Chain A
Amino acid sequence: MSEGIGLFAIFFAAIFTDNILLTNYLGMCSFLAVSREVKTSLGLGLAVIFVMASTSVLNWLVYYYILVPLDLTYLRFIVFIIVIASFVQIVEMIIERISDVLYAALGIFLPLITVNCAILGVTLFMVIRDYTLKAAFAYGLGSGLGWALAILAMAGIREKMARSRVPRGLEGAGITLIIAGIMALAFMGFSGMINLN
């Protein structure tokens, strides 16, 4: 029972209080580049949720069943990145085969994800915090949802803002960062509820 609550706490914290994008600043590059439209953000968000949840479990297995017994933990950066890159590649091939619709919706975003630092970041956090397999899954899924939530909210705001006049020097990245800052402030409101670490 208490384990269930612990898992839920991790899941909840990963979405709100410890949002991977707004409090850990991960995945900013694609966040700034792709958050212009709600539709594309949704596609990328879904792809990130799926890849994050799967790679955190995969990397957990690789880390505790291969690297730790062989005493190769110092190689973890390389191994994690290879696991993530090959996983993304395989998923892309499978999706291309089985569903055109899905490929059109998600496929184009998958290559972008390999270089999304949030994916590697989730794996590294999970190793540093000594999560169990279930906790790693909860954390990966929660972080993915949190990231998707942040980019969707941002895309919604940016679509509304497209017609407003922004000082020229602030156009593009500048104003997006300011909005992100305000969003981070809003998310800090959750922070009394649950704490990770």
Chain B
Amino acid sequence: MARGRVKRLFIDDLGANNPVFAQVLGICSTLAVTNVVKNTVVMCAGLVFVVTLSNFTVSSLRKWIPSRTRMMIEVLIIASYVIAFDIVIRAYLPDISRQLGPYVGLIITNCIIMGRAEAFALSNPPTVSLMDGIASGLGYSYVLLSIAFVRELLGSGTIWGARVLGDWWVNWSIMVMAPGAFFTLAILIWIVKGWLLKREQGRSE
């Protein structure tokens, strides 16, 4: 039974219940780091790491966390993991750390992490919460990565820093700047929502 449940978690978080599409949560960093695929991968790794471990920790401590101060405690747990991640990338990937700037620290206020802790980890056992953390982290990551892919490809003609489009390509520099991020996410949401609406219609008929 537990396995079926975990499987459903993954399907939910990666598909229809994806936090970015369904609830439009946590998009600050979605927009800010997605102009280059490489930075996005690092950011996603950080996010999966933090959401997984904070979910696990909150869930393990859930019987001892007083409900009045639970938000504060959750934030502190999340912040500790973010600090750990920040120290690691500062040591091993100093360039990327500099480019990401404040956005690593801003993982703390990413609503997805807090949302998972509140909505899931507080009422479920540690192992399932751990799985839920991985699933929602991955669900978030693949959206981020697809946005980064589009933006880097159209904005710089490269993927992961390597030239993909030839000399004939004129960079849409708007894509690596702020408006490009808004437009790409909006169009992606449109596509996914349109597809979901169509499927719903098909079902009800």
Listed in ascending order, the chain A residues whose CB lies under 8 Å from chain B are 22-29, 32, 74-78, 81-82, 85, 115-117, 120-121, 124-125, 128, 167-170, 172-175, 177-178, 180-182, 184-185, 188
Q: Which one of B29, B114, B189, B194 lies within 8 Å of A177 (CB-CB)?
A: B189
Which residues of chain A come closer than 8 Å to B80, judged between CB atoms?
78
Q: Which one of A29, A115, A168 lies within 8 Å of B27 (CB-CB)?
A: A29
Which residues of chain A come closer than 8 Å to B72, judged between CB atoms?
85
Pairwise interchain contact B106-A124, C-beta atoms closer than 8 A: yes
* CB contact under 8 A between A174 and B193, given known A29-B111, A117-B110: yes
Pairwise interchain contact B178-A184, C-beta atoms closer than 8 A: yes
Which residues of chain A come closer than 8 Å to B161, judged between CB atoms?
none
Interface of B is mostly: helix
* CB contact under 8 A between A175 and B102, given known A78-B79, A78-B80, A115-B109: no
Which residues of chain B come closer than 8 Å to A74, judged between CB atoms?
83, 87
- Nearest first, the 8 A-B pairs at minimum CB distance are A181-B182, A124-B102, A169-B194, A177-B186, A25-B31, A117-B109, A169-B193, A173-B24
Q: In chain A, what residue has the closest Cβ to B23?
A: A173
Pairwise interchain contact A81-B193, C-beta atoms closer than 8 A: no
Chain B, interface size: which category?
Answer: 35 or more
Which residues of chain B come closer than 8 Å to A76, judged between CB atoms?
105
Which residues of chain B come closer than 8 Å to A29, judged between CB atoms?
24-28, 111
